[in-house]
């Protein structure tokens, strides 16, 4: 069986993705490596980020974490989900009941991964680096223990 993803890191990925979508109108990451110590997300992108943009992303993600939004789930049919969401990243064998995971009113997306119950559990979010190459923006991030500052 596949190793269980770290719920704090994976929940941070949800918030980072929605923040990227809102700030840059890019899609959610097309690939992610989520590890307890350090994670990375890759986005289809057209340029590098400025240091100001990187700190804006950090600030927004930490704002959502500090707001302590509940992370909840609901199940809808595949047909319903297909109207609002891109289902390409779900495994083929997911079945007809699709789990939608919501971070307060900030984000909602079909997902099968493990999540924390509310965003404050994630701790402080920090971008370690952001690199741009071949139209791919890679963001590496860490979580500091304890509550967001």
Shortest spacing between CB 6 and Zn ion, in angstroms? 11
Burial track 54-74 (b if 16+ CB lie within 10 A, e otherwise): eeebbebbbebbeeebebeee
Closest CA to 70 of 49, 101, 39, 45: 101
- Interface size with Zn ion, residues (CB under 5 A): 3
HSE of 116, CA atoms in CB hemisphere, 13 A: 21
Shortest spacing between CB 133 and Zn ion, in angstroms? 27
Asked whether position 15 contacts Zn ion by CB under 5 A, the answer is: no
Asked whether position 111 contacts Zn ion by CB under 5 A, the answer is: yes
Could you give the string, one character per residue 56-95, with x where binding to Zn ion holds by CB under 5 A and - elsewhere? ----------------------------------------
Asked whether position 116 contacts Zn ion by CB under 5 A, the answer is: no
Residue with tokens 């990375």: 40
- Of the candidate spans 57-65, 80-88, 100-108, 137-145, the one that interacts with Zn ion by CB under 5 A turns out to be 100-108
Asked whether position 103 contacts Zn ion by CB under 5 A, the answer is: no
With CB under 5 A as the contact rule, the residue among 24, 113, 127, 142 that binds Zn ion is: 113
Q: What is the 3-state secondary structure (H, E, C) of 11-76?
A: HHHHHHHHHHHHHHCCCCCCEEECCCCCEEEEEECCCCCCHHHHHHHHHHHHHHHHCCCEEEEEEE
Closest-CB residue for Zn ion? 111
Binding interface with Zn ion (CB under 5 A)? 101, 111, 113
């Amino acid at each position: 069986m596949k190793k269980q993803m770290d719920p704090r890191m994976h929940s941070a990925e949800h918030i980072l993705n929605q923040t990227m979508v809102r700030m840059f109108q890019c899609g959610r990451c097309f690939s992610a490596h989520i590890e307890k110590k350090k994670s990375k997300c890759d986005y289809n992108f057209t340029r590098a980020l400025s240091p100001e943009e990187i700190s804006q992303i950090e600030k927004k993600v930490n704002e959502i974490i500090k707001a302590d939004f509940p992370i909840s789930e609901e199940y809808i049919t595949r047909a319903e989900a297909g109207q609002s969401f891109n289902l390409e990243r779900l495994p083929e064998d997911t079945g007809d009941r699709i789990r939608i995971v919501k971070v307060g009113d900030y984000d909602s997306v079909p997902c099968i991964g493990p999540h924390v119950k509310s965003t404050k559990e994630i701790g402080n979010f920090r971008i370690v680096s952001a690199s741009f190459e071949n139209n791919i923006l890679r963001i590496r991030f860490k979580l500091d223990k304890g509550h967001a500052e």
